[in-house]
Structures are given as structure tokens and as C-alpha cells.
Amino acid sequence: DITPAGHSFLVFWEDGTPADGAKVCVEQSVYEQEGAQAGLVLVPFADEVARGQPRVSAVLGCAQSSMGALKTFEQRTEVYELSASMAIEPESMWSTGQATAPLTVSARLFLHGTPVPVSLLREAKVTVTTEEVDGTSRKQKVLVSAEELQRNREWLSLQVPVALPERLQHMCARLEAHVAAGWRRDMATGEADVQHLSVE
């Protein structure tokens, strides 16, 4: 399985019992059991994937045994994807005398197609740009609070009040955020690399 912590392996004995003290060897690096859960081993994401060689070999074994099993898997890089829908009711935009209208934002965060907690997002913000008939444009920015990101594990769902101009012609919305990588490091600073995400 793929998790924000890396590739997750669960090593079993032949009878289906999790192997306590499990180890996984990938390209001369040995990764040992994580925590108290028997058989669970995390293998980090790849810094980069060689073109034409997406799959690598892993030897699964246990400290209490000289036996092992060979497995191939696709060791991927740590790449996140942000998916979002942003909608506003047309009636709200064209209602006479309506000063504001609610923009409904729904978003999910994925790691190679696997849903991961939206609380991993940092500095999330919604930017709404409105344009009037005469070409005058205005940007409105709303920061998404940490409480909103932690409210629901799988989804970010909120409503953003948008100030409407008198003669609205066009409007667009963009959700931006970044994720600090768990394994990638900036070559210059040594700190966690940051992936910037944006969707309109």
C-alpha cells in the first residue's frame, strides 16, 4: 500500500500470521519493522524513478528466520494531487441587490490515486477573481484555517463568501496549498521539499 509515510509492506508467515521482526531489503538498503505492529515495514519513496525501470525487487524476511521471499513492486516518488470542485449558485450571482454569494469548495488530496488526509495541506487559500463588464477586476483571498483542514479526514468542505460587483461579467476561483514531503529533501537546505498544488 502507499501511505504518506512511504510504501507499506505487511510481512506474513505461511500460515498467515504477521511476522514479528520483519525486514525488507531494497537495493542493498534494509528497512525494519515499524513500531509495535508485527510484520509492518515502511519503505521510503524513491528520490527519482529511472526511465523504463519503474519496478524494483525487494526481499521480504524476518529476524527469526533465514528464509525470505522475493517480490517486485513499483517504488514511486512522493507526488501529491489535489482535486477540487468549486461552485456558486447562478441565482446568487444575479439576484438583484445581492452583495455577497457563497462559493462552495470541496477538495480531496491524493497520493498516486490513494486518498490521504487533507490535514497534510499547508497554507491553503482560496482566491476568487471577479471581473465587471467594463473590465475592472478584483481579487479576494481567503485563508483556510487549520481547524477546517482537520474537521474531516478525507474531505475539505467549506463555503467562502464572495463579494459581488454590480455588473459581474466573469468569475473564477482557485484553490492553492502545499504539502511538505515526508522523504524528499531540498538539496540546498536539507529541509523537507515542498510540493505546491493548485486547482481551478
pLDDT digits (tens, 9 = 90+) for 144-175: 998 999 888 889 999 988 888 878 888 899 99
Average pLDDT over residues 81-95: 81
Confidence of residue 119 (pLDDT cuts 50, 70, 90): very high
Q: What is the pTM of this model?
A: 0.79
What is the pLDDT at residue 5?
A: 85
pLDDT digits (tens, 9 = 90+) for 90-117: 776 665 556 888 899 999 999 999 999 9
Q: Which set of grid coordinates corresponds to residue 42?
A: 515502511
User: What is the distance, to the nearest Å, from the Cα of residue 135 to the centroid of all Cα atoms in its chain?
Assistant: 36
Q: Which of 62, 72, 74 is nearest to 11 (CA)?
A: 62
Residue 143 has pLDDT above 70, yes or no: yes
Residue 14 has pLDDT above 70, yes or no: yes
Residue 53 has pLDDT above 80, yes or no: no
Q: CB count, 10 Å around CB of 101?
A: 21
